Structure 1
Amino acid sequence: MSVIGYVRERGPARGRSVALLQARGCTSVNFENDFSEQTEGAVLRAVLRFLRPQDRLVVNSLRELGASPAHVLEVLESASLKRAVIEVLGAGISTEHDGGAALKAALALVDRLGSDEPAAGRASAEDIQRLKAAGRSQKEIAALLGVSRVTVWRKLKGAPAS
């Protein structure tokens, strides 16, 4: 099993990200050198191609896996097909066990709703309740759906008890 880091950031932020990934135990950290439209994500695609079962791809945030929820879902599916794990340090989540299903459900929801809505409107009380029933904390739900913890709390408070 290899623990592989991936960074999409540039400048000083890249150095901080690499340090965090190395502290997490990544044996190699890969990053994009060329950010042109033609090569966007070329290094990530190469990393995904070489993943083996039980390998762990570690990133600091979901943004590093793609420009949209649909792109992130594609990356998650690619890793899943290879039986590899993706870990997102900043959100404290991974695709291991049932966390992967909740993450995919949240991303599919966000993708379906679109990102042009105000943040508080991105998730319904029903969607939040589903994630809560799946065992996710309010903090995790907020991170997965891109809303504040207060929004999650309010929508859970107003939802009928199950």
Structure 2
Amino acid sequence: MPRIGYARVSTLDQDLDTQVARLKAEGCVIIRAEKVSGASREGRAELATVLEFLRPGDELVVTRLDRLGRDTRDVLNVVHEAEQRGASITVLDPHVSTRGEMGHVVLTVLGMVAQMERRFIKERQREGIARAKAAGAYTGGKRRLDRDQVRALHTAGHGPSAIAATLGCSRMQVYRILQGA
């Protein structure tokens, strides 16, 4: 029975090495990893790939349940999809598997805890931003594009597509900047 590992971190500056090493140590022959938020299933191509290729008897292994997702419904949907393919899911910390009936109950509870944790994180983030704004220290997110450069390229006759290609951004970002001018 092949063990397939799935590792995920939320941001580009986070490291996947610890999860990947643990999955290898657990005997995973294939490991798929990605750097994307677990708030929803949207945009999680590696998870979709793993689920698509699960075969009867396969075992999907993750280090913690929140690596599968932070929304209870999403986690339960992943479990359901794996089971529809005849595969099981094993969480290493705490060790829980869907092979037994009790594993489903534990995963449901852990999924609810992960969702609650995500809500707490967002609440703390909002509170921190509110405090920073009140202290005059919050200026918002860092701008990713030089707005003057976008306007200069537009003034020079470049279209939004050409500007986006030159600056390595989306056309929508260019349109937003030009509309705000």
With normalisation by structure 2, the TM-score equals: 0.54
Which residue in the other structure is 1:80 paired with? 83
Q: 2:30 aligns with which of 17, 28, 31?
A: 28
Q: Deviations over 1:4-27 (max 9, x none)?
A: 000012556410111100000000
Number of residue pairs the alignment of both structures matches: 114
The letter of the residue matching 1:2 is: P
Over aligned residue pairs, what C-alpha RMSD do you find?
2.8
Q: Is 1:5 the counterpart of 2:5 in the alignment?
A: yes
* Superposition deviation, residue 104 in structure 1: 4.8
- SS of match in other structure, 1:8: strand
**2:2 maps to amino acid:** S
Q: Deviations over 1:73-101 (max 9, x none)?
A: 11011011112010000111110122333
1:106 maps onto 2:139 in alignment: no
| Moved >6 Å (runs of 4+) | none
Closer, same or farther in 2 for the Cα pair 1:52/1:69, shift >3 Å?
A: same
Q: Structure 1 residues 91, 34: closer, same or farther in 2, change over 3 A? A: closer
After superposition, the Cα gap between the structure-2 partners of 1:19 and 1:105, relative to the gap in structure 1 and judged at 3 Å, is closer
**1:11-50 → structure 2 map (5 Å cutoff):** 13-32=15-34, 40-50=43-53
Aligned pair partner of 2:100 in 97, 110, 125: 97
Aligned 8 A contact 1:55 1:85 in 2? yes
- 2:94 is paired with a residue of what secondary structure? coil
Q: Which has the larger radius of gyration?
A: 2
In the alignment, is the contact (CA less than 8 A) between 1:53 and 1:82 conserved in 2?
yes
User: In the alignment, is the contact (CA less than 8 A) between 1:61 and 1:91 conserved in 2?
Assistant: yes
TM-score, length of structure 1 as denominator length:
0.60
> 2:148 maps to what in 1?
none
Indicate how the Cα distance of structure 1 residues 65 and 78 shifts in structure 2: closer, same or farther if over 3 A, else same.
Answer: same
